[in-house]
């Protein structure tokens, strides 16, 4: 999934401008909400004229698609790093603390929650999220399979899917839990999370 770049003259400059717009969009989504943030608010935040922003993105949907792509690229980079480790699954379990802290950080660079809500009404956004998730899954799944195989654990397709889908659901639920219970004991949450990762990945 890639988003077409309009009137691209100097590719590097255009890419910088696009990134500038995406950073501004992230600020506006957080401040005004995903729905209320307008193209004019985003262009103002990016320090561009309202017309100039349309050189880079046709509309808010196009910004959102680029957002989803950028996020998938980040995740794929992290997965390549994970894949290069001696024991990727054990590393995930060992680094539970770091991972939970990132998921609970309201300023983390993750997809805004509203994007998922918006996807229930906007098929283009749903398709972008699903395509990004397939790319990420195609990278992560073989790592889990290979590492489980090394350990002689079951690796049938349905089992792997169920384990991974459950784990990803937990990732996505953590920021919601932080909103419901901002003062929760984070160390004990990490312990719960670690227990779950252990049983799903190595159980």
Q: Kindly list the residues in this chain that would bind a copy of itself in the complex (CB under 8 A).
A: 30-36, 106, 112-114, 116-121, 126, 129-130, 133, 137, 158-159, 161-163, 165-177, 179-182, 184-185, 187-193, 195-196, 199-200, 203
Cβ proximity to a copy of itself: between 11 and 158 the closer is 158
- DSSP per-residue letters across 79-131: HHHHHTSSSHHHHHHHTHHHHHHHHH-TTSSSPPTHHHHHHTT-HHHHHHHHH
Supply the minimum distance, in Å, between the C-beta of residue 87 and a copy of itself.
Answer: 21
- φ and ψ at residue 16, rounded to 5 degrees: -60, -40
Closest by CA to 112, choosing from 54, 176, 56, is 176
Q: How far is the CB of 42 from a copy of itself (least distance, A)?
A: 16
Question: In angstroms, what is the minimal distance from the CB of 135 to a copy of itself?
Answer: 12
Q: Closer to a copy of itself by CB, 54 or 171: give it.
A: 171
**Minimum CB–partner distance for residue 15 and a copy of itself (Å):** 27
Nearer to a copy of itself, 18 or 194 (CB): 194
**Closer residue to a copy of itself in complex, CB, 16/40:** 40
Q: Are 49 and 37 in contact (CB under 8 A)?
A: no
DSSP E strand boundaries for 39-151: none
Rounded Cα–Cα distance for residues 62 and 85 (Å): 36
């Amino acid at each position: 999934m890639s988003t077409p770049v309009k009137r691209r003259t100097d590719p590097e400059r255009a890419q910088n401008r696009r990134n500038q717009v995406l950073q501004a969009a992230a600020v506006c989504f957080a401040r005004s909400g995903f729905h209320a943030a307008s193209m004019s608010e985003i262009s103002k935040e990016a320090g561009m004229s309202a017309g100039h922003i349309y050189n880079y993105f046709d509309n808010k949907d196009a910004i959102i698609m680029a957002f989803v792509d950028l996020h998938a690229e980040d995740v794929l980079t992290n997965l390549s790093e994970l894949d290069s480790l001696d024991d990727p699954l054990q590393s995930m379990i060992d680094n539970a603390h770091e991972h939970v802290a990132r998921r609970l950080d309201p300023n983390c660079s993750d997809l805004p929650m509203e994007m998922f809500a918006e996807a229930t009404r906007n098929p283009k956004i749903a398709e972008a999220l699903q395509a990004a998730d397939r790319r990420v899954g195609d990278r992560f799944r073989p790592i889990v399979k290979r590492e489980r195989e090394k350990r002689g654990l079951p690796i049938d397709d349905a089992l792997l899917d169920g384990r991974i889908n459950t784990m990803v659901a937990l990732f996505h639920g953590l920021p919601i839990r932080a909103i419901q219970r901002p003062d929760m004991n984070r160390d004990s949450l990490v312990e719960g999370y670690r227990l779950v990762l252990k049983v799903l990945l190595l159980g």
